[in-house]
């Protein structure tokens, strides 16, 4: 993770974005979405998502071009615009979201293996969690050997996971039946789904999770050969992944009905393909997913360590997190990440948490970093910073930034109070590391307005803790 790492070209940055975004989410997308919405609401939801996430992709592109001196993406933008505590919170939330997503990946991986070995069940049985723990520490010690091994494996898995997805799309397109898709288009036959607006809102958080990784290129912006390639990679990677996601989701709704999809075991793509071509389809998807998840576990482990390392290097995190081993891997950051994954794997066993509940919590954690990035883009336009001779461009970027900001607020609304409360419970303890970093610099903990923000976070976290204690909230 040192500066000695080779600079990344455009193709490598695109692969990084695509590889980060395509993990396990797309393989479970048919069931995850069908559980929340019928076909009509799905089309509306994807339309909103496309506009909002594209605006966010353009925000990362704009910031990469106009603020080339800022490395590490979501963290750097929040810090530059709104101070150290906001920068820290953005990095802390992003880090938690990333490793929480990895917990979900472990559950999904062994849920997939449960298709062949029933002892793994839904990925949260004692045997599954035990095997997941062994795999976790296997990945840990592989990464400690250096990033070259992890990067090579990730390149192979990126290809391996796209091949079954493309095969699925081709087969599903041939098998698609319009009458199945239009049957109960608005979900009136399934009252549990709620109104169309409820359906759209409920699917939004699922769509957010499958787009986590859109900021991957900006997080590694300091390693780009050309800074302008960071924005290009973000937009190109996003559009490619968006096409794959929409096709997988919509085509599935034309093969099986919404209730049938909602009752599938994840990875639901396997169930859909099995419905069309038989057992070999399920096996193909399951193998593709297993390979994909192994690669995702490696890449996200590196990403988690990178964000802690970058913030520590800027003295926003404690100094111990920037320690590297002989292979230039931030060893303490990696240890902290994987210890947290291990703890939550055990919590998953105790609470019987599912993949879906884990990805929703991970999605909620990423919302704040996305919101601060969009807000910083708007702030630059309002101030006119970097726009002294580009008034027309300033107006355009202001509109795009405003759309991304509105979308980020919409996602907070869509997340609902439960996951926002649980997110606050995870945000609050981060102040201990922030306090340690400030003490190392001999600086006061908070500025005046930061005290108010932390007080709000603390109050929300205490409310969540009481909710868990009383049983009003569950993981």
Residue 146: band (very low, low, confident or very high) from pLDDT cuts 50, 70, 90: low
337: CATH? 1.20.1740.10
399 has pLDDT over 50 = yes
Between 263 and 302, the higher pLDDT residue: 263
Mean pLDDT of the 383-392 span: 85
| Tokens, residue 275 | 């419905």
Burial class (CB in 10 A: 0-12, 13-18, 19+), 380: buried
282 assigned to some structural domain: yes
User: Could you give the dihedral angle defined by the CA atoms of residues 225, 226, 227 and 229, in that order, rounded to the nearest 10 degrees?
Assistant: -110
Q: What pLDDT shows up at residue 5?
A: 46
pTM of the model: 0.83
Place 244 in a pLDDT band, splitting at 50, 70 and 90: very high
Compute the distance between CA of residue 348 and CA of residue 342 in angstroms, rounded to an integer: 10
Is residue 313 scored above 90 in pLDDT?
Answer: no
Give dist(CA 136, CA 144) in Å, integer.
12
More confident of the two residues 380 and 235: 380
298 CB-near residues (< 8 Å, 6+ apart): 139, 142, 143, 150, 153, 154, 157
The verdict on residue 119 lying in a domain is yes
**Confidence at 27, pLDDT banded by 50, 70, 90:** confident
List 35's β-bridge partners, or say none.
none
Distance of CA 65 to the CA centre of its chain: 23
In a domain, 278, yes or no: yes
Maximum distance among all Cα pairs of the chain, rounded to whole angstroms: 68
Query: Per the domain annotation, does 4 fall within a domain?
Result: no
Task: State the residue range of the domain holding 389.
Answer: 10-470
pLDDT tens track for 406-426: 988 887 877 778 878 888 888
Question: Contact at 8 Å (CB) between 110 and 312?
Answer: no
Say whether pLDDT at 260 is over 60: yes
Domain-embedded: residue 466: yes
Structurally, how many domains does the chain consist of?
1
pLDDT exceeds 90 at position 338:
yes
> Could you tell me if 292 and 22 are in contact, meaning their C-beta atoms sit under 8 angstroms apart?
yes
- Assess if residue 305 is contained within a domain: yes
Task: Spell out the alpha helix ranges (H) of 176-278.
Answer: 178-182, 196-211, 216-219, 228-252, 258-262, 268-277
**Locus of tokens 């910031």:** 63
The pLDDT value recorded for residue 2 is 43
Position 127 scores a pLDDT of 92
Identify the band that residue 104 occupies on the pLDDT scale cut at 50, 70 and 90: confident
CB 67: neighbour CB atoms within 10 A?
Answer: 20
C-alpha 140/C-alpha 328 separation (Å) is 14
Cα angle, residue 371 at apex, residues 304 and 228 outer, rounded to 5°: 70
Residue 3 lies in a domain: no
The answer to whether residue 450 sits within a structural domain is yes
Residues 6+ apart with CB under 8 A from 132: 106, 107, 109, 110, 123, 345
């Amino acid at each position: 993770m040192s500066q000695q790492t080779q600079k990344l070209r455009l193709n490598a940055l695109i692969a990084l974005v695509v590889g980060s975004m395509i993990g396990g989410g797309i393989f479970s997308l048919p069931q995850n979405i069908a559980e929340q919405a019928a076909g009509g609401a799905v089309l509306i939801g994807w339309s909103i998502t496309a506009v909002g996430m594209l605006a966010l992709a353009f925000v990362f592109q704009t910031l990469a071009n106009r603020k080339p001196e800022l490395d590490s993406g979501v963290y750097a933008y929040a810090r530059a615009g709104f101070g150290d505590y906001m920068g820290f919170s953005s990095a802390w939330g992003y880090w938690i979201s990333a490793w929480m997503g990895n917990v979900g990946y472990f559950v999904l991986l062994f849920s997939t293996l449960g298709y062949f070995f029933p002892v793994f069940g839904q990925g949260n049985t004692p045997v599954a969690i035990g095997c997941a723990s062994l795999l976790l520490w296997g990945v840990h010690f592989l990464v400690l050997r250096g990033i070259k091994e992890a990067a090579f494996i990730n390149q192979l898995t990126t290809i391996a996971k796209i091949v079954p997805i493309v095969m699925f799309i081709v087969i599903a397109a041939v098998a698609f039946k319009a009458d199945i898709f239009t049957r109960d288009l608005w979900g009136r036959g399934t009252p549990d789904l709620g109104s169309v607006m409820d359906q759209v809102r409920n699917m939004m958080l699922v769509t957010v999770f499958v787009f986590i990784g859109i900021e991957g290129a900006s997080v590694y912006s300091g390693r780009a050969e050309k800074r302008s390639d960071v924005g290009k990679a973000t937009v190109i990677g996003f559009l490619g992944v968006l096409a794959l996601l929409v096709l997988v989701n919509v085509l599935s709704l034309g093969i099986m009905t919404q209730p049938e999809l909602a009752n599938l075991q994840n990875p639901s793509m396997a169930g859909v393909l099995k419905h069309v071509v038989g057992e070999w389809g399920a096996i193909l998807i399951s193998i593709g997913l297993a390979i994909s998840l192994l690669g995702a576990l490696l890449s996200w482990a590196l990403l988690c360590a990178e964000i802690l390392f970058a913030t520590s290097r800027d003295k926003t995190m404690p100094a111990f997190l920037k320690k590297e081993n002989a292979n230039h891997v931030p060893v303490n950051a990696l240890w902290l990440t994987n210890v947290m994954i291990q703890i939550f794997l055990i919590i998953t066993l105790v609470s019987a948490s599912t993949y879906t509940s884990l990805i929703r919590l991970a999605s909620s954690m990423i919302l704040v970093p996305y919101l601060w990035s969009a807000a910083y883009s708007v702030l630059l336009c309002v101030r006119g910073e970097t726009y002294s001779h580009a008034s027309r461009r300033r107006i355009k970027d202001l509109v795009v930034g405003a759309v991304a900001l509105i979308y980020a607020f919409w996602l907070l609304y869509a997340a609902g109070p439960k996951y926002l409360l649980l997110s606050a419970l995870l945000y609050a303890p981060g102040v201990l590391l922030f306090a340690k970093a400030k003490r190392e610099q001999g600086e006061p903990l908070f500025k005046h307005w930061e005290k108010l923000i932390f007080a709000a976070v603390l109050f929300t976290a205490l409310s969540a803790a009481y909710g868990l204690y009383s049983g009003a909230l569950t993981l």
